[in-house]
Amino acid sequence: MAPVLVLIEHASGKPSDPSLQALTLARSFAKGDSVQALLISTPIALEGELWRDTVTALAYDLGARHGVNSTHIAEHEALDSFAPDAWAAILGQLADRLNASAIFAAGTDRGNDVMARVAARMGLPVATNCISVAPGDQITVTRQRWGGSLLEEARINSPRALITVAPHTVAVESAAAEAKVERFTPQLKEHELVVRVAERVSTKGGGVSLAEAKVVVSGGRGVGSKEGFAIIEELAGLLGAAVGCSRVVTSAGWRPHSDQVGQTGTKVAPDLYIACGISGATQHMAGCKGAKRILAINSDAEAPIMQNADYAVVGDLKEIVPAISAEIRAARAAHAPLPNPLPGGERG
């Protein structure tokens, strides 16, 4: 039977979580038919043969841990940064060569961008942000609309299903297969490289990315000012968390848009989401309802976010947030190893 092809986004030798979620859904859709993966090799931050080895290891790992039967690595000298038209061309060329019955990608900004272009090139419909896919003569999908506040059931009428999977709606399941690995050089035209990432700017603070953070400390209008975010940053620093915010905050210029959580911001799925001075508007909840636990800190016990919170503290965040940070510091100090009393730090 015709294989199912999955676009895998990756960085520094690791597949993105949303891509693994898309792969899990693709495997259940394939029902035993061959599942094949495409890695587009963009040598970011790794040089020379090192990135080649890293991508090759990832290609085999997709078989050993995620049940991929064949991984195709696209290499081209012009692929040193993300270029959506070029990615769409590569995906299309490979799908045609394999005669793929379906193409899956993560419903990320990149995945949706590339798949929309694939759809336009092939003259086929694309079903974006799906949370389930049932194979059959007519494929039925359930997809998120309106930032996840509405679910739509739709049937795909197409010789080749093009599907993106809403991030954090499918649990990654592991499976083992022996992946064949193949490298190929795609044919790219000049105009397909016109739209491309020209520059990469690291976020302030560098470390944890909002979309992948295990803990997010988020502030809303209740924080009061740009300077007010110092206590949010302090708590985030102690927890190794990313800082998020509501749209009111980005509109006021207190934080950059890249920190915004919600329907028109980033969708997060941390283990813990700490919402400080955020009312919990539908558009905000669309971005954080994937969190395993929500802790709301709000002076209004009737704020809508309280309906969605697993834990709530009613009070002034300007007192509560520093108090939590102080408790964390005190707990860590109590468990810290005692300083060595011997001169010069010698061990007795």
Ligand X SMILES: Cc1cc2nc3c(=O)[nH]c(=O)nc-3n(C[C@H](O)[C@H](O)[C@H](O)COP(=O)(O)OP(=O)(O)OC[C@H]3O[C@@H](n4cnc5c(N)ncnc54)[C@H](O)[C@@H]3O)c2cc1C
Interacting residue ranges for ligand X, rule: CB under 6 A: 220-222, 246-248, 260, 262-265, 277-279, 281, 283-284, 287, 297-300, 303, 316-318
Judged by beta carbon, residue 6 or residue 276, the one nearer ligand X is 276
* Shortest Å, Cβ 282 to ligand X: 7
7-22: string of b/e by CB count within 10 Å (b at 16+)?
bbbbeeeebbbbbbbb
Q: CA 307, CA 41: separation in Å to the nearest integer?
A: 44
Q: Token pair for residue 35?
A: 């599942």
* Shortest Å, Cβ 299 to ligand X: 4
Judged by beta carbon, residue 180 or residue 318, the one nearer ligand X is 318
Judged by beta carbon, residue 70 or residue 144, the one nearer ligand X is 144
Positive or negative, the CA dihedral 279, 280, 282, 284 is positive
* Shortest Å, Cβ 331 to ligand X: 24
Q: CA 132, CA 233: separation in Å to the nearest integer?
A: 37
- In the bound complex, which residue of the shown chain has the CB atom lying closest to ligand X? 262
Judged by beta carbon, residue 76 or residue 255, the one nearer ligand X is 255
- Is residue 165 a contact partner of residue 22, using CB atoms and an 8 Å limit? yes
* Shortest Å, Cβ 223 to ligand X: 8
Q: CA 109, CA 182: separation in Å to the nearest integer?
A: 27
Q: CA 211, CA 208: separation in Å to the nearest integer?
A: 9
* Shortest Å, Cβ 303 to ligand X: 4
End-to-end CA gap in the chain: 71
* Shortest Å, Cβ 268 to ligand X: 11
**DSSP string over 292-335:** SEEEEEES-TT-THHHH-SEEEES-HHHHHHHHHHHHHHHHHHH
Judged by beta carbon, residue 15 or residue 265, the one nearer ligand X is 265
Burial class (CB in 10 A: 0-12, 13-18, 19+), 115: buried
Judged by beta carbon, residue 189 or residue 257, the one nearer ligand X is 257
Q: Is 345 left (phi over 0), alpha (psi -120 to 50) or beta?
A: left
Judged by beta carbon, residue 24 or residue 298, the one nearer ligand X is 298
- Is residue 37 a contact partner of residue 70, using CB atoms and an 8 Å limit? yes
* Shortest Å, Cβ 44 to ligand X: 28
